[in-house]
Amino acid sequence: MAAEPGGWHRTRTPFGGVGPVTRTGEEASMRHLHRSTRPIAFAAAALAVLPSLAADGAWTETYLRAVALIEQGRVEEAAPLLDRVIAAHPLPALDVPTPGAESIDYLPYLQRARLELRRGDALAALRSLDVSLAFGGTRAVASLRRWVFTLKAQARAALHRHGDVRAALAPAAIPES
């Protein structure tokens, strides 16, 4: 038996028999319709989410205020603001539209790590950086990835300076006692 152009899989029936699998009539047109509308459905879902992120502009303003306070070193004021924003919007996102014509990179766990480093809690900063990496947004952009690893190095150095060498090591490198 000669295989059809395009591969052997086109000559098998669903239950292992040999012969062409043909879809006729309504079944074929529905399958084609489903495949052609899939990208449209994904785009519509993405567009539905973005306005809801931007609709409540108060949370983006609160996030930006918390980031500004962290940069000024006023971490005790920034902490409750950042916690409130994370509770309302726990998933990080890149290019989130703001009420103006701008967009921001919403990276709450990265900002929380900065806050915790300024507080002196390097272990909590490492945990926040691991959460940030787990969500993947910071892995996509090289500059953000470098920022995360720079902060991780600072946190590990702080732990090492304070004598907490076991905590400064990567979790995989710590032998079980």
- The DSSP string of the chain is -PPPTT-GGGGB-TTS-BS-----HHHHHHHHHHHHHHHHHHHHHHHHHHHHHHH-HHHHHHHHHHHHHHHTT-HHHHHHHHHHHHHH--S-EEEEE-SSS-EEEE-HHHHHHHHHHHHT-HHHHHHHHHHHHHH-HHHHSHHHHHHHHHHHHHHHHHHHHTT-HHHHS-GGGSPP-
112 and 49 belong to one structural domain = no
What is the reported pLDDT for 136?
76
139 with 105, same domain: the answer is yes
Residue 93's CB: how many other CB atoms inside 10 A?
17
Q: Is residue 17 part of a domain?
A: no
Q: Is residue 161 part of a domain?
A: yes
pLDDT at 36: 55
Q: What is residue 52's predicted lDDT score, i.e. its pLDDT?
A: 46
Q: Which domain holds residue 42?
A: 23-55
Please identify every stretch of the chain with a pLDDT value under 70, giving residue numbers as ranges: 1-56, 164-177
- Do 64 and 150 lie in one domain? The reply is yes
The answer to whether residue 4 is domain-embedded is no
Domain assignment present for 7: no
Residue 13 confidence (pLDDT): 52
78/158 same-domain check: yes
Predicted local distance difference test score (pLDDT) of residue 53? 43
Q: What is residue 73's predicted lDDT score, i.e. its pLDDT? A: 93
Q: What CATH number does residue 164 fall under?
A: 1.25.40
107 with 47, same domain: the answer is no
Residues 45 and 85 in one domain: no
The answer on 133 and 106 residing in a single domain is yes
Report yes or no on 69 lying in a domain: yes
